[in-house]
Structure 1
Amino acid sequence: MASTPRATSRSSKTNGHVSSYPQPEWDDVLPVPRLHFSVASVLVFCLAVLCFVNSYDGDFVFDDSEAIIGNKDLLPETPLQAVFAHDFWGRKLDSKTSHKSYRPLTIMTYRWNYAWADGLHPLGFHVVNIALHGLVSVIFLAVFSVLMSGYQVDQESARPVFASPRASLLCAVLFAVHPIHTESVAGVVGRADLLCALTFLLSFLLYARACLSPSSQVSYRPESFSLVSLLASMCLCVVSTFCKEQGITVIGVCCVFDIIVVCRVDPFQLLPFRKPKKSEENGHNGFNNNHVKSKSDISPWVKGLIMRHLILFVTGASLLITRLRVMGSTTPIFQVHDNPHSFVNGTILKILNYNYLYAINSWLLINPWWLCFDWSMGCIPVITSLTDPRILVDIALWGVFGALVFQCCRGGLTKDRRILITALAVLGVPFLPASNLFFRVGFVIAERILYLSCAGFCMLVVLGARQICIRLHNTTKQLVSSGFYIIIVLFILRSIQRSSEWREEMTLFSSGVKVCPLNAKVHYNIAKLQADNNNKDVAIDKYRQAIRLNPQYDQAMNNLANILKENGVVLEAEQLLQRAVSIRADFAAAWMNLGIVQAELKKNESAEASYLEALRHRKKYPDCYYNLGNLYLDMGRHTDAIRAWLNATQLRPTHMNAWTNTLILLDNLGKYENAILVGKEAMKVMKNEPQLMFNMANIYGKMEKYMESEELFLSAIKIDKHNPKFYLNLGVLYHRWGKNKQAEAAYIQAQKLEPRDPSIAENLQMLHRKMGKLK
């Protein structure tokens, strides 16, 4: 019976260390200097930081507003368990609006940033992101040394060695400076990708280490493995998945690496058109070894391979089941404008659209000068006909991919073929969650998704460069060297320029218009920002342009209607809101705004119906209850108004306007006792709210409880010393109380703050007559 060949019988010692099989100097032909690993690590880290360091003092931009600024899970008062019950954006996972993105460990790092900085200061968030990218790039240097070396092994430690310094350094440099990473590094939301990549790579390195047991003798194929390292690798896989869903794909990369590189099994040998050569029939490239006759004769390396893959399968299945349960056994619901290509009717058209998106993603890796913060809503029009010329792009993609697959199939399982197959796995496997193949995603293209896949692209570039240097003359090596240096310099300059665009929203959004002028969402974001800056005319134009580009853009209609309502163009605002709710019947905010407009037009019954429709779609909607209460007040339905306002305060205890309106109405109705009870409930929540104290003081004054009233007036003035109304009403209190000197001092202070108020002068004159100073 033939035995598995062992390294000790066919290896040659060099430099005191022995690889498990003789290897040529694979990367000597590459035009890159050979550097020590520590020196190379410092170089890669510095280049990675250099490219994106100018974003360190940037603002929170784009998605950061929702994931960071508007996310209550970052606040210290939010219970820690809430982080593990909410999605990435702070919504409950069972909510209809949840995207089901479960990344609690990433949110934990945001909480630490918040705690360290004692607030939402973007500087600390950006610095952590930049440092993480530098660290990931350095770890990639170690990963590339394993992937590009063909898994050469140190005989004494039975661990992978840094066997391809030139190739791994070139891959790591290309990865570190690639502009496609700008969104992941300069956008704080991109930390999910950085943390996922960090733990993804550590998981892979532990798996590579586990494939050979340190206590066993090194063999051509490992006959044993380290269970501890393997389990540690799977634990890191779980951590990576809880940083971002993409982390689970490390299982696929480990699987390919184990089969192709570690065990040298050629899966293409199973294809019907492949006839194994004699060298392959000896068992060096497949499972069909001559000595494998029965179950009892299975080689130790095959048993180890099966055991490792069983652990990979159990881990992957457990993660998927857990993830599905966390999501509530439901998938997220996306609108057509989120990912229109996935809503195309017909299998053929859907395939063409998906492949076109794959081609665009590939093009962004090749040509990262064409970058945009958002690729939805018309940025990439849908292919709706078989005569669309963009189908040629799909054909080109299939041609390139087919050529690469052909190279994977032909010949024996050489080192070049192993690296090529592994590079394709690193390129494609991490991209699978975004491919729309298994489930619909909520975006057309997201540059952050390519963070890990970029590593496979870098491997393909270096592998291709080596082939050019080998097949052509020595002069070509100099040309390739010059080409690489030019590309690296251009990538660095582009990364610096692109990261500067991510420093503030207006610059970012304006750059998006240049790349995707037909993208309605880009114009919408500019309009929203201009509205926040009180540039209403520009905002109106941009909202109108967004609606022209996408006539179904209900959010743009809602926002435009709000601005028009403020400008007094109420009829057009009503029409826009009616269109919005006809497009999306469950658009609660649009229903509420429609009610506000209808109330302003004195269409009270229609306004009430709109408010109730909004509450039907969003039961916990405090602002809607508040506006409904205002409508009931105008209609004279005081009891209903109070009930609506109290509903608002129950849902949002800090809803100051609802508390204030309730107190004022109870005061006007003469229900002072009820008003005091409501005011005390409000002050339990807002102990230092001067307006609340002011209202309560007025009510106590009318009840002739002067001491309680005085105490509240003075407390309010202590907090807000420049409010003339506080001093005026305090003067009225002293005036009624008979404390004339205190009343005079209060009136005089109110007059200093608001000298043009006639009521202050009138009250002061009345007091002076009472005091005998005027006749």
Structure 2
Amino acid sequence: MTANSRGTRAAPPPVQRRLSALPRPAVGVRLLRYAALVAVCALCYSNSLWGEFVHDDIWAITNNPDVRPGSSLQSIFTNDFWGKRMADNTSHKSYRPLCILTFKLNILLGGMTPFYFHLVNVFLHCMVTALLMHTCEQCVFEDSNFSFLTALLFSVHPIHTEAVSGIVGRADVLASMLFLLAFLSYISSMADGFPPTVSVLSLALSLLLGTCAMLVKETGITVFGVCVLYDFLVLCHRAMSNIVSILVLMKNQGFLTYCYLLAFNAWLLLAPIVLCYDWQVGSIPLVESLWDGRNIASLTLALVMLALSLNCKMKGKEVLVGVLFLIFPFIPASNLFFRVGFVVAERVLYMPSMGYCVLVVHGLNRLYSVVSRWGAAALTVSMLVVLLLFSWKTVQQNEIWLSREALFRSGIQTLPHNAKVHYNYANFLKDRGRNQEAIYHYKTALRLYPRHASALNNLGTLTHQAEEAEVYYRRALNINPQHNRALFNLGNLLKSQGKEEEAERMLKESIRYGPHFADAYSSLASLYADQGHSKEANEIYTRGIENCPDSSDLHNNYGVFLVDTGHGDHAAFHYQEAVRLKPSHYVAMVNLGRLLRSSNDNKEAELWYKRALQVVRKVDILTPLGALYYNTGRYEEALEVYREAATLQPDSTDIWLALAQVLAMAGRSVEAEKMTLSIISKTSNCIECYRLLSAIYSKQGNHTEALDALKTALQQEPSDPAVRAELHFSMGNQLREMNELDRAFQSYKLAVELKPDQSQAWMNMGGIQHIKGDYAAARMYYQRALLLSPGSKLLKENLAKLDRLEKKLQGA
């Protein structure tokens, strides 16, 4: 500040720091008060520690690539709060890199466990509460008891539950802490009267803290306005009327609704009875007429604020600080100067509530000065009741924020006329598979707000009728032609109906309007792959990975495509990338395990299967691991794995059959037979069961029963010629063991008629003719088998034997 900007005085007062002018109680008393505040905060929010990631937490933390381990620190400073590039048209433009950095540190130190995120939030709230008391002691109240009461009221106010119990509310809590620190640093750098800067270091620290507050949340920038006005009005003793005249000249937007919203926010601070996580889409009807009764609330608020401004005396800073702390942090969210993405949001009231608490305690102080002793006692009791009620309400609100279901259900109960809460609850129900309930709430959202395109789109995904689903998707696109998910869903529907040309167009449009929507790339690439256009499919996958480098599913799907097209050597990288991006991506782990098994790297494959099981115990993981153990002769381990799979999916014939096969190979034929017969009794058409039963009987030497089992399998009339060929081949083997060579030969002949490339059947036919002495026929069958299996040693040995016999006969 310069002399020209402040005017000149005849005799400026001596320089004194403001901090030394305020009386303080004993250090022990102050420490006890701070401890009490921290204890109250911790008690009020202790039940919030067990909450899940809910609502915006999922998008800002669990789905945000910027907070994941290994992600670039640079991306934190180039992307918005939700992980999108600031330059992107779809970006929210909320720039909070330091808040994202705290999330990243949380994960680094405590993993993705919500408990530690909540613990940090509660700790920060305790810090803000303690700092508020310290601020009030330094530059607001002369009586430290009122400073303590202000902080106590702040600590238990229910309006803070969204900011403290909702993890993304950390932006508001941390910004408030930095706001107070910046303010304290500023006033400690200045002196009373006509002040020069008495501490350049404190001023620089204030600028740094204010900048950090702004980088935590945009509202943090308002601390600079608060500091300047506090300097102008308090430290320089200027008249409040100067500021009032400036405020009167500010341009009025003229929107009655926005004026009412200011009053509504003030009411939430005054009486936080009805609280909700989302106040959008019909929660607060528009004020469209001067005769709307709600204008009285707007007028009342205006009169109250005007009275506070005009009656602010220089010797009492309580009102001034209260008004500054209340108004300035709320300006960015007020909709008066620029539009924001919400009408009411409880967490944005966290910072302004500091000013509200100062004003309430100031009012209480004024009342104490004019009432009798009994009146003062009544005021004290009333304040205690308010504090207890606020504490109870805070604890109750914390319960709502413990889970997605509790949060979304509370919205339905609190604001049943809000289309958004019905839509959110329907999304939750859809994720949980409660489709009928989800459909009801989607339809309720549409009844309240018929132009809700996303509700129409999601309804389409739940209906079982393709025609009805198409109607919903097209209605959504009529409302919003650029709805990329509706375009995607309609494209997939058309693809399933064989309308590939229109499906391709829809999927391309989905990518056009949602260039970072990875599922659309996967679906379009899949369409091209099904059409045999591998080159185009590969290009789409490559483009998708360029635009969506953090999509684990896209990397996994590309890996599957590469395996299918014979490029498995490149697929491993994409499976591993999918796991790196999403460490819980068990599908990619299983796919990588299968790929490793195909290259006989069973040890490494086993490790990936086991890693997938650490994420989730699912049949889809247990069965390939069981197959690995079975094929490598580790039957006891295979039995253990398949038994677990059977407990998870007891109605699965395939699992029980696999378990019986393992028992048979482990030499436990009686158990295997009993289990197979049990499966047959429950499943009328189980060809593989009869094949296994035949193998069990054959191993026991019961070839007649083995043959009967194969005949029963053939009576099931399997549609696959290869299966019928295998059954005839097995029958030939049983008949050969029974020394019925002619019947065996006929069975082998039927097998090769159904499957001509079955070299073993050709060889066995040659063997039968060899035994019967028809060497010419035997040679013909052996040579046919040798064409199919040129590396067979047994075939070559048989041919050599045949040569020796023929030479011996010729010599005789």
The interval holding the TM-score normalised by the smaller chain is 0.7 to 0.9
Post-superposition CA distance 1:702-726 (Å, at most 9, x none): xxxxxx4xx1567546654976578
Distance 2:73 2:19 in 1: 51
Give the C-alpha shift of residue 642 in structure 1. Answer: 5.5
The alignment status of 1:171 with 2:150, answered yes or no, reads yes
Distance 1:474 1:552 in 2: 60
Post-superposition CA distance 1:491-522 (Å, at most 9, x none): 11111111121111222222222321111111
The alignment status of 1:448 with 2:347, answered yes or no, reads yes
The alignment status of 1:758 with 2:654, answered yes or no, reads no
Post-superposition CA distance 1:136-156 (Å, at most 9, x none): 10110011112323xxxxxxx
Q: How does 1:239-318 map to 2 (within 5 A)?
A: 239-268=212-241
Give the C-alpha shift of residue 474 in structure 1. Answer: 2.9
Distance 1:59 1:36 in 2: 38
Post-superposition CA distance 1:551-574 (Å, at most 9, x none): 12112122221111xxx2222211
Contact 1:179 1:491 in 2 (8 A): yes
Identify if the C-alpha distance between structure 1 residues 632 and 42 changes in structure 2 by more than 3 Å, giving closer, same or farther: same
**Which residue in the other structure is 1:289 paired with?**
none
Q: How does 1:500-539 map to 2 (within 5 A)?
A: 500-539=399-438
The alignment status of 1:188 with 2:167, answered yes or no, reads yes
Q: Which has the higher contact order (CA 8 A, sep 6+)?
A: 1
**Which residue in the other structure is 1:292 paired with?**
none
The alignment status of 1:614 with 2:510, answered yes or no, reads yes
The alignment status of 1:627 with 2:523, answered yes or no, reads yes
The alignment status of 1:100 with 2:93, answered yes or no, reads yes
Indicate the RMSD between aligned Cα atoms, in angstroms: 3.7
**Which residue in the other structure is 1:395 paired with?**
299
Distance 2:124 2:527 in 1: 53
3-state SS of the aligned residue for 1:36? Answer: helix
The alignment status of 1:479 with 2:458, answered yes or no, reads no
Equivalent residue for 1:4, pick from 2, 12, 15: 12
Contact 1:750 1:760 in 2 (8 A): no
The alignment status of 1:691 with 2:585, answered yes or no, reads no
**Which residue in the other structure is 2:709 paired with?**
none
Identify if the C-alpha distance between structure 1 residues 169 and 562 changes in structure 2 by more than 3 Å, giving closer, same or farther: same
Identify if the C-alpha distance between structure 1 residues 697 and 643 changes in structure 2 by more than 3 Å, giving closer, same or farther: farther
Q: How does 1:289-688 map to 2 (within 5 A)?
A: 350-408=254-312, 413-416=313-316, 418-564=317-463, 568-632=464-528, 640-641=536-537, 643-644=539-540, 647-648=543-544, 652=551, 655=554, 658-659=557-558, 662=561, 666=565, 674-676=566-568, 679=571, 682=574, 685=577
3-state SS of the aligned residue for 2:255? Answer: helix
Contact 1:178 1:492 in 2 (8 A): yes
Give the C-alpha shift of residue 679 in structure 1. Answer: 4.3
Greater helix percent: which structure? Answer: 2
Identify if the C-alpha distance between structure 1 residues 731 and 229 changes in structure 2 by more than 3 Å, giving closer, same or farther: closer
Contact 2:429 2:437 in 1 (8 A): yes
Give the C-alpha shift of residue 103 in structure 1. Answer: 1.2
**Which residue in the other structure is 1:204 paired with?**
183
Distance 2:213 2:625 in 1: 57
Distance 1:501 1:53 in 2: 14
**Which residue in the other structure is 2:786 paired with?**
none
TM-score (ref. length: structure 1) = 0.74
Contact 1:622 1:647 in 2 (8 A): no
Give the C-alpha shift of residue 641 in structure 1. Answer: 4.7
Distance 2:243 2:53 in 1: 52
Q: Which runs of 5+ in 1 are unaligned?
A: 9-16, 150-162, 213-218, 274-346, 667-673, 699-707, 735-744
Give the C-alpha shift of residue 73 in structure 1. Answer: 1.5
Identify if the C-alpha distance between structure 1 residues 628 and 459 changes in structure 2 by more than 3 Å, giving closer, same or farther: same
Identify if the C-alpha distance between structure 1 residues 108 and 746 changes in structure 2 by more than 3 Å, giving closer, same or farther: same
Structure 1: which amino acid aligns with 2:370? R
Post-superposition CA distance 1:32-70 (Å, at most 9, x none): x99922121112111122211111111111111111111
Distance 1:168 1:112 in 2: 33
Contact 2:256 2:288 in 1 (8 A): no
**Which residue in the other structure is 2:618 paired with?**
none
Q: How does 1:85-124 map to 2 (within 5 A)?
A: 85-117=78-110, 119-124=111-116
Distance 2:520 2:544 in 1: 8
Equivalent residue for 1:227, pick from 178, 193, 200: 200
TM-score (ref. length: structure 2) = 0.71
Distance 2:80 2:89 in 1: 12
Distance 1:111 1:271 in 2: 44
3-state SS of the aligned residue for 1:415? Answer: coil
Structure 2: which amino acid aligns with 1:398? A
Distance 1:676 1:386 in 2: 71
Structure 1: which amino acid aligns with 2:376? K
Identify if the C-alpha distance between structure 1 residues 391 and 250 changes in structure 2 by more than 3 Å, giving closer, same or farther: same
Structure 1: which amino acid aligns with 2:687? P
Tell me which moved more, 356-365 or 74-83.
74-83
Give the C-alpha shift of residue 440 in structure 1. Answer: 1.4
Post-superposition CA distance 1:286-324 (Å, at most 9, x none): xxxxxxxxxxxxxxxxxxxxxxxxxxxxxxxxxxxxxxx
Q: Which runs of 5+ in 2 are unaligned?
A: 1-8, 580-587, 611-620, 634-657, 666-671, 680-685, 696-725, 739-743, 745-812
Give the C-alpha shift of residue 98 in structure 1. Answer: 1.3
Distance 1:182 1:45 in 2: 16
**Which residue in the other structure is 2:124 paired with?**
132
Distance 2:245 2:572 in 1: 82
Identify if the C-alpha distance between structure 1 residues 19 and 65 changes in structure 2 by more than 3 Å, giving closer, same or farther: closer
**Which residue in the other structure is 2:636 paired with?**
none
Percent pairwise identity:
32
Contact 2:461 2:469 in 1 (8 A): yes
Distance 2:334 2:500 in 1: 49
Structure 1: which amino acid aligns with 2:103? Y
Contact 1:34 1:165 in 2 (8 A): no
Give the C-alpha shift of residue 661 in structure 1. Answer: 5.5
The alignment status of 1:62 with 2:62, answered yes or no, reads no
Tell me which moved more, 455-464 or 764-773.
764-773
Contact 1:731 1:747 in 2 (8 A): no
Structure 1: which amino acid aligns with 2:134? A
Distance 1:558 1:586 in 2: 12
Name the larger-Rg structure: 2
Identify if the C-alpha distance between structure 1 residues 639 and 533 changes in structure 2 by more than 3 Å, giving closer, same or farther: same
Equivalent residue for 1:749, pick from 662, 669, 675: 662
Distance 2:164 2:627 in 1: 55
Distance 1:684 1:192 in 2: 34
Identify if the C-alpha distance between structure 1 residues 596 and 38 changes in structure 2 by more than 3 Å, giving closer, same or farther: same
Structure 1: which amino acid aligns with 2:662? Q
Contact 1:148 1:164 in 2 (8 A): no
Give the C-alpha shift of residue 84 in structure 1. Answer: 1.4
**Which residue in the other structure is 2:751 paired with?**
none
Give the C-alpha shift of residue 478 in structure 1. Answer: 1.3
Identify if the C-alpha distance between structure 1 residues 132 and 639 changes in structure 2 by more than 3 Å, giving closer, same or farther: closer
Give the C-alpha shift of residue 749 in structure 1. Answer: 3.2
Give the C-alpha shift of residue 592 in structure 1. Answer: 0.6
